[in-house]
Amino acid sequence: MKIAVLVKQVPGPESALPINDHGTWVDEESVTFVMNPPDNFALEEALLIKEGKGDGEVVVVSMGPDRVQKVIREGLAKGADRGIHIEEVGPIEKDPLHIAKRFTAVLKDENFDLVLTGLQSDDTGMGQTGVLIGEMLGISTATLAVETDIKDGHIRLKRELESGWFQWVEFPLPASISIQSGLNTPRYPSLKGIMGAKKKEIKTVSCTELDISSNCQSVDKVFVPQTSKHSEVIDGEVDAAVERIVEILKSEIKVI
C-alpha cells in the first residue's frame, strides 16, 4: 500500500494576519505558519492504514516556498517514510487547477494506491484539490471520509453527508480521498521520530520544471469583512445584562 498525503502549510489559527501593501494577500513575513489542521487528520489516517497493513509507504507531499519543508519534516517525524517538496518561488499559487496540475505531474509516475488530503485548507479554503487531482490521474474520488476500510484492491468508506446523515461507499483503488476532520486523533512526533526524520529523504522538484497551462481563477484582493448588521452591545454588570436579556426575550423578540 503506497500512500501519498498532501499537506499544506497555512497561517496558524492564532497568527496575526496583516494585509500586504498591495492588498492582495496577507503579509507572509508577519505570519506564523502551521500544518493545515485538516491535513493532520489525513496524515494520521495514512499512518494508521500503513500500520494496520503492516507494510507500505507513506509519502508526504507539499508545495510552497522553502518554509514548507518544516511541515514535511513534521510528517516524517510522525512516521512518514519520505517527502516530496514542490518548490515555489515568488507568490504562492492560489488557483486550484494550477495547483492540482503541478501535483498531478509529480504524482503520476509514482503510482500511489491512495492519495489523501484534508477536507480543505484553512487559508484559501477552496476544498477541491484532492478531487481535481483524482480526476486528473483518472482514479476514483471521494470526499469527507469519516472511516476507511481497505480491502483487496478496494476501499470501503463511510462518508459524511449533511444534517447528520452518513453513507457507505465502496470503489476500486487507486483513489484520491479527502478526510473529514475529527475522525482520528493525530499523534505527536516522538523524540526518536524527530531524530529519525533528519535522515529521511525529501526530494525537491522545482515548479518551473512543470510546464503547465490552464484556465485559472485569481485572488485579486483581500479585505476585512464589513459587518452589515447593527448589533446592540450589552457589556455592563451581570444583573443589568440579565435584566436587558429578559426584556429582549419578552418585548422585542417575544418568545416568552
Partner 1 sequence: MDVLVILEESQGSLHRLSREAIAGAQKLGSSVAALAIGENADTLASELSSYDLEEVFTAKHELLSSYSADGYFETVIQLIRAESPALVVAGHTYQTRDFMPRVSAKLDIPFIPDIVSLSDEGFVKQVLNAKLNASLSSASDQIILSFQSAAFNDEEIRGGSCSARAFDVELDSSQVRSVSEEPFQEATGDVDLESAEVLVSVGRGIEKEENVPIAFELAKAIGAEVCASRPVVDSGWIDSFRQVGSSGHNVAPKLYFSLGVSGAIQHVVGMKGSKNILAINKDADAPIFELADYAVVGNVLEIIPKLIEALNNK
Name residues contacting partner 1, limited to 158-187 (CB under 8 A).
159-172, 180, 182
Q: Which of 84, 4, 11 is nearest to 42 (CA)?
A: 4
**Which residue(s) pair with 9 in the sheet?**
35
Our CB check for partner 1 shows the closer of 167 and 190 to be: 167
Within 8 A by CB and 6+ apart from 91, the residues are 24, 25
- Exposure string (b/e) for 52-62, b if CB count within 10 Å is 16 or more? eeeebbbbbbb
* The one among 21, 211, 238, 251 contacting partner 1 by CB under 8 A: 238
* The one among 199, 208, 232, 251 contacting partner 1 by CB under 8 A: 232
77-85, 94-102, 105-113, 192-200 -> range binding partner 1 (CB under 8 A): 94-102
Query: Any contact of residue 39 with partner 1 (CB under 8 A)?
Result: no
Our CB check for partner 1 shows the closer of 53 and 154 to be: 154
- 236 close to 38: Cβ distance less than 8 angstroms: no
Residue 98: strand, helix, or coil: helix
1-9, 79-87, 204-212, 247-255 -> range binding partner 1 (CB under 8 A): 247-255
Q: Shortest gap between Cβ of 102 and partner 1 (angstroms)?
A: 13
Query: Any contact of residue 140 with partner 1 (CB under 8 A)?
Result: yes
- 42 close to 5: Cβ distance less than 8 angstroms: yes
Distance of CA 139 to the CA centre of its chain: 20
Query: Any contact of residue 219 with partner 1 (CB under 8 A)?
Result: yes
Q: Shortest gap between Cβ of 142 and partner 1 (angstroms)?
A: 7
Q: Which of 101, 85, 79, 91 is nearest to 20 (CA)?
A: 91
Encoded amino acid at 97, one letter: L
Total count of residues recorded for the chain: 256
**C-alpha cell recorded at residue 156:** 470501503
Q: Of 110-139, which residues contact partner 1 (CB under 8 A)?
A: 122-129, 131-136
Q: Shortest gap between Cβ of 31 and partner 1 (angstroms)?
A: 10
Number of residues this chain uses to bind partner 1 (CB under 8 A): 75
42-50, 89-97, 108-116, 198-206 -> range binding partner 1 (CB under 8 A): 89-97
